[in-house]
Structures are given as structure tokens and as C-alpha cells.
Amino acid sequence: MKVALVVERMEIGGLPNYVLALARMLAGAGSEPVVVHGNAPLPPHLDLTGIVTQHVPGLLSGADAEAAAQLLALAPDVIHVHHCGAAGVISRLLASGIPLVRSFHDLTSLCLRLGRRRWPGDRCQRALQWSCIGYGCMLSPPRNGGRLPHIANVGAKLRERDAYRLSDVSIACSGYMARTLRLNGFDEQRIQVVPNFSSFDSFATGSAPEKTPGLPGRDRPFELLFSGQAVGGKGLEVLIAALGGTKGDWRLTVLGDGPRLASVRSEVERLKLVDRIRFAGWVPQADTARHYQSADLLVIPSIIDEALPLVGLEAMSFGTPLVGFAVGGIPDYLHDDETGVLVETTTAEALCAGLQRAMADAERLQGWGRQGRSLVARRHTRAAHLAAIQNAYRAAGCPDGVHLAERSNFAQVMT
């Protein structure tokens, strides 16, 4: 089976790495994946070893007919789109009759502002519609590589969303994303929830990793860990504010970098927490694994509805419990008093209370960690993910006649 994995841009972030990992899994299972991308050359940090790629410039240039023709010339058995904002391309692919699967890793095709957040504390729960203009969502975040906000094209975004509603299968990586798709009019029968996998799944399925000796809070400090970008939605500033009022013997390690890091450091100095918080920057994967293993708690202070932050799955692979907000897909794996502490309100005060609760009885951490590893081993391995993706491909291969008629009508309108 030849699979075209379509990504508009292969640059930074988790999506390119996921697509490359999926390509390797599919190839290992006997399929012939090709990664179709719009940007070139591909950045050197991406590991393309053993990966077949195809540059289709029209995905970014607006040459929709040319891009679709190049993609169809590959003669794929299934087209698996991970990111493509060109409704004209999608309409032509739908009209081809080749099964089309769309994975929703984020809100890119469903929201003008991508994060469904207009101001601190805002968590929009509306469908994408023309009325979004009245809610102040026309001013969208900067495009890739830019610094200035831009005015969103509501009509184009609606056409993009409506095109994807005709996909044979829509893959949601979490319960939150499945609910968001239903809210936006996607057919319940064509939505499949396929949880993401942990890149450290072997630590969840193998022998239990050795944790740092001693009982935290009694024999040594609690080792807290944050891993992610220093941007507004990830909530690092909220975590620092929470730690300003957190009592007990604790230390925090911050893995990551970003535009908010300077202001975060200034706040750490103001709160006189310099001796308790270490900024390690981005580290290689092997070092990341060691940090996950040595941490007593991973804190996920995201304040926006992310589809499914992978850091939680990665930490749980090592038996590390979590403290985080009940936003987006986080509750899919952060089960209160089972794999950690789930904080309902996205405030520094609530997060502080959650941290205090987690550290109040350190003997519970080991049990939470075991349940986290068990959850990863059951639902978030590469093998489980690949099997679910293959099931989605099979389901996409048999669309009913009504669906094909809908696709044809939509393609005529778009062209």
C-alpha cells in the first residue's frame, strides 16, 4: 500500500517528527510511505534517514491544480493529510476518488486563532463560523516566520474546514479533538480517536525504570520538571507564579526555550527563587529521558486547549506522575488521583493548591507512576498507534455512494 503523508511545512515542532516517525512505522509494516511537503530545502535538524520525500511547491504557492496533480501522480492508495490549508487542493484530492484521511493534531483547520484563546482565561467553545468576526478573532497570530499578526480570511478558513468534513476518515488524537470535530459538523461515523504514542514507549513496556532514591520531601527535595516552549499558552509563567506560594522542599528544572523566557527569568529573580529553579534549555533526547526518569512530578501548566500534549505521555513512560490543568486533551491521560493531580481552574492559585496536594503524601507518587506507565503501555505505544492508523486506512477505503456524491458536488463548487 502506497501512502502519501501530506504536510504543508516540515520545519520545527512536534508535527514533522511525528510524520517522519509514522513513515518509518508504516515502512516497517510493509507499506510504501512518501512524505509530501511544500517547503524546500528541508531543515537539517530533521532526520530523513530512510524516508522517501516529495517536494510539491504548489502546497504553499497557491498553485492548487498543479499541487493536486503532482500529488495524484504519485498514485497513492491512500492520502493521509496532516496539515494543508489549501481548500482547492483538498477539493481536487476528494474528487479523485482516492481515500482521504485527515489527522487533526491541532486546531489549525478549525479556528482563526489556532488556540481558541483571545485573552488570558478565555477558552472558546464555539464552532468556526462567520460570527467569529464579532468575537474579535479576525486578528490572528503571526504566520510562520513572521512577527506581526495578520487579518484572518474567514471565508477561506470555512472552505478549508468544510472540505475536510468530506474526508473519508477524520482522525482525532484525543477526546477533546473528537468533540471539537463534532462541534464543527463532522460526521460522527467518520471520526476515529487514535491516541498519540510516547516516543519513550519502550520504557513503559519494559522493566520499570529506576527512580531517584529516597522519599521526596523527607530524604531529599521534590524534583519538579517543566518541558516545553516558553510561550504564553504553555503556562510557564503561571507555574512560576504558583511556585512563588508553594511551600515545602522542592526544586524545578525547566527544559525548553522561547520568547517568554527572559520575562520568566526576571519573575524568578523577583520571587527570590533563583536557587530553586534551573533553566537547562533544550537538551538531546537521551538527556530528556534522564530528566523524565529523575523527576518526581512533571508539571503541565498549559492554559490553552491543546489537542494532546505529548510531554505527559513521555513522562508517564518513566513512572513519573503529573500535575496539570484540565484543558484540551490532557484529561485523556491525567486522571485525578490515579496518574497525578488534575487541576480544574487555570490559575496560579489553583495550580499551587494542586502542587501542594501532590506533595502532601509522597508515598502516593509511586502508585500514580505505576498507573501512568500502565496507561502508556496499553494505549500509547507505537504498535497500538500503527494498528489504529491501519484500521483508519481500511475504513477510508469503502466510502458509501452518498459520500462520494457529496465530495463530487463540493469539488464542482470549489473549481
The per-residue pLDDT for range 57-85, each reduced to its tens digit, is: 999 988 999 999 999 999 999 999 999 99
183-239 pLDDT, tens digit per residue, is 999 999 999 999 999 999 999 999 989 999 999 999 999 999 999 989 888 999 999
94-152 pLDDT, tens digit per residue, is 999 999 999 999 998 998 876 555 556 667 788 899 988 887 777 766 655 556 666 87
Mean pLDDT score, 260-268: 96
Tell me the CB-side half-sphere exposure of residue 332, using CA atoms within 13 A.
27
Q: Are residues 69 and 134 in the same domain?
A: yes
Residue 41: cis peptide before it, omega within 30 degrees of 0: yes
**Amino acid letter, 225:** L
CB 276 within 8 A of CB 254: no
| CATH number of the domain where residue 368 is located | 3.40.50.2000
Mean pLDDT score, 11-21: 88
Q: Are residues 209 and 254 in the same domain?
A: yes
Q: Are residues 125 and 179 in the same domain?
A: yes
359-394 pLDDT, tens digit per residue, is 999 999 999 999 999 999 999 999 999 999 999 999
Number of domains in the chain: 2
Three-class SS state of 325: strand
Q: Are residues 167 and 218 in the same domain?
A: no
- Of 135, 176, 108, nearest in space to 325 by CA: 176
- Phi then psi for 117, rounded to 5 degrees? -145, 120
Bridge partners, residue 192, by sequence: 171
Q: Are residues 19 and 158 in the same domain?
A: yes
Q: Are residues 117 and 150 in the same domain?
A: yes
129-138 pLDDT, tens digit per residue, is 998 888 777 7
- Mean pLDDT value across the chain: 91
Q: Are residues 101 and 160 in the same domain?
A: yes
pTM over 0.95: no
CB 169 within 8 A of CB 188: no
Per DSSP, 332 falls in state G
Q: What percent of the chain has pLDDT over 70?
A: 91
Q: Are residues 247 and 142 in the same domain?
A: no
Q: Are residues 83 and 206 in the same domain?
A: no
Domain of 319 in residue numbering reads as 201-379
Mean pLDDT score, 309-333: 96
pLDDT of residue 413: 46
Q: Are residues 243 and 216 in the same domain?
A: yes
Q: Are residues 338 and 359 in the same domain?
A: yes
Cα distance between residue 159 and residue 141, in whole Å: 20
Bridge partners, residue 140, by sequence: 150
Between strands 250-255 and 222-227, the pairing is parallel
Q: Are residues 212 and 258 in the same domain?
A: yes
